[in-house]
């Protein structure tokens, strides 16, 4: 083979590979949901919850930007697994107009429920344009409540002995961690739900030690092999996805999102996270 023929074949091969990669990133990976499984060790976990399952679903982003029928299919699969507690960590819609309310109702009709409880917090997209429309957040909260999902907006709730705090979104209009994360509540809380992981770096935790479940980043949606994702909507670029030891008694877990802002993913599959609750035997 001469040099000219070699270059020709190389160009054709590269173009073909690029085309296949593009097709995979557009039509396959965005719908290839990863059901991940982890242990969640919790101090002072009530014995009745030891071995029970908590499921985290985040960032479904219902709207016009992708075919969300696979989210309904995923919801049905999760419900068949009969989780004990389900938490939704924000960004239920990609809000453009009131059509998203109808679309969200269509999807949440199939939303999986926990045996002991189903909780949610809101994300920035749940506050409409500029994250500054509280009436959109109110409407979304109402749709969730219609489907037996309790929305925590800087609130604490007890679920079968598990104290859970839900913070409202960092970028939106109702972020008020100081109203609930006090020294007293920090001591008694087992789990915090917080959409944007950048909140972990704020001086609002009052010595809280335990798990924090977040979303927001989508893991970057595109991650070159062996490199960090080039785009993350957080200040702290360490906060990409997965489990992160904050080295002060707090453990952060960032879900990669079930939905996406735009229909493209590479090396960052959409995720539903299953946690097995366990008593922390080291304390």
- Edge-to-edge strand list for the sheet holding 210-214: 155-159, 162-166, 191-193, 210-214, 250-254, 242-245
What are the angstrom distances between the C-alpha of 30 and each of 48, 128, 261?
A: 37, 24, 11
Is the pTM higher than 0.85? The answer reads yes
What is the band of 283 on the pLDDT scale with cuts at 50, 70, 90? low
Q: Where are the domains of the chain?
A: 1-31, 33-279
* Rounded Cα distance, 176 and 199, in Å: 11
Contact between 78 and 55 under an 8 Å Cβ cutoff? The reply is yes
For 53-108, how does the pLDDT look when each residue is reduced to its tens digit (9 = 90+)?
Answer: 999 999 999 999 999 999 999 999 999 999 999 999 999 999 999 999 999 999 99
Query: Residue 14: is its pLDDT beyond 90?
Result: no
pLDDT score recorded for residue 16: 41
Pairing of strands 155-159, 191-193: unpaired
22 has pLDDT over 90: no
- C-alpha span between 242 and 152 (Å, rounded): 23
Does domain 33-279 match CATH 2.60.40.10? no
Each residue's pLDDT tens digit, 27-44: 999 999 999 999 999 999
pLDDT of residue 179: 95
Q: In sequence order, which ranges of 113-227 are alpha helices (DSSP H)?
A: 134-146, 183-188
Tens-place pLDDT, residues 117-176: 999 999 999 999 999 999 999 999 999 999 999 999 999 999 999 999 999 999 999 999
> How does DSSP classify residue 32?
-
């Amino acid at each position: 083979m001469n040099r000219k023929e070699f270059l020709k074949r190389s160009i054709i091969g590269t173009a073909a590979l690029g085309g296949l990669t593009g097709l995979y990133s557009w039509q396959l990976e965005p719908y290839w949901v990863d059901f991940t499984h982890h242990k969640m060790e919790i101090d002072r976990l009530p014995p009745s919850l030891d071995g029970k399952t908590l499921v985290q679903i985040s960032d479904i982003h219902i709207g016009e930007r992708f075919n969300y029928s696979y989210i309904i299919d995923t919801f049905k699969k999760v419900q068949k697994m009969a989780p004990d507690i389900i938490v939704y960590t924000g960004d239920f819609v990609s809000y453009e107009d009131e059509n998203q309310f109808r679309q969200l109702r269509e999807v949440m009709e199939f939303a999986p429920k926990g045996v002991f409880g189903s909780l949610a917090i809101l994300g920035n997209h749940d506050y409409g344009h500029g994250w500054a429309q509280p009436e959109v957040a109110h409407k979304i909260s109402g749709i969730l409540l219609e489907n037996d999902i309790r929305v925590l907006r800087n609130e604490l709730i007890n679920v079968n002995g598990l104290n859970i705090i839900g913070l409202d979104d960092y970028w939106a209009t109702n972020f008020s961690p100081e109203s609930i994360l006090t020294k007293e509540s920090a001591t008694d809380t087992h789990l915090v739900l917080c959409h944007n992981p950048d909140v972990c770096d704020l001086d609002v935790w009052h010595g809280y030690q335990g798990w924090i479940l977040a979303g927001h980043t989508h893991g970057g949606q595109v991650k070159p092999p062996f490199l960090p994702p080039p785009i993350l909507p957080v200040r702290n670029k360490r906060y990409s996805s997965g489990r992160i030891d904050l080295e002060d008694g707090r453990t952060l877990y960032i879900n990669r999102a079930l939905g996406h802002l735009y229909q493209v993913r590479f090396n960052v599959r959409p995720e539903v996270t299953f946690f097995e609750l366990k008593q922390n035997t080291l304390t």
